[in-house]
Amino acid sequence: MASLADNLARLDALTAELQSIGKAINTNIREIEDGGNPVQTAVAYHNTRESYEGLDEARKGIYEMSDRLNKFLVPQALEKAGTDSIRIPSLARSFYIVKKFSATIIGPKEAAYDWLRENGLSELVQPTVNAGTLTNALKTLILEEGRDAPEELFKFSSYNTTGSSKYTPK
């Protein structure tokens, strides 16, 4: 069985190859655009669509792996190592823990909207409440002002993710 590093290198090479193939196919499609026969065009469409669906399935799997690394594995590894950041000169990147928050209305919307209005947050209430705006408002209310939001109306939680930035190794 290949190592993680070997498989990631293969994935990187495959991504580059897929980009190259995509450019070549685009050139081929331009050639049939002006007067290509309908059978050839329909076959090209069918095969492209099937390939796209397969690639989309693979992309979703890779996204799930990336998301798991981002939200769980890297923050856990940093915490276990007793640090909140690392620098990797070979990548010229720093990685660090970023604390994020999430807020969702889980109870009856009208009751939640009423509570928001009664607690000075009426500007949040539109035909819908924007999730990002709600998260920021509840974060301020709960963490900075020390007030609680009703648990039967709102779910408020935090989670760690991985931040990354470029740096120049010395």
Phi, psi of 166 (to 5 degrees): -75, 150
pTM of the model: 0.67
| Order of strands across the sheet that contains 154-166 | 85-88, 93-105, 154-166
Q: How do the domains of the chain map onto residue ranges?
A: 4-80, 85-166
pLDDT of residue 29: 87
pLDDT of residue 163: 83
Residue 71, amino acid: K
Over residues 39-72, the pLDDT tens digits come to 888 888 889 999 999 999 999 999 999 999 999 9
> Which residues, given as ranges, of the chain have pLDDT below 50?
none
Tell me the C-alpha distance between 48 and 2, whole Å. 30
> What is the sign of the dihedral through the CA atoms of 103, 105, 110 and 114?
negative
Tokens of 117: 């209005």
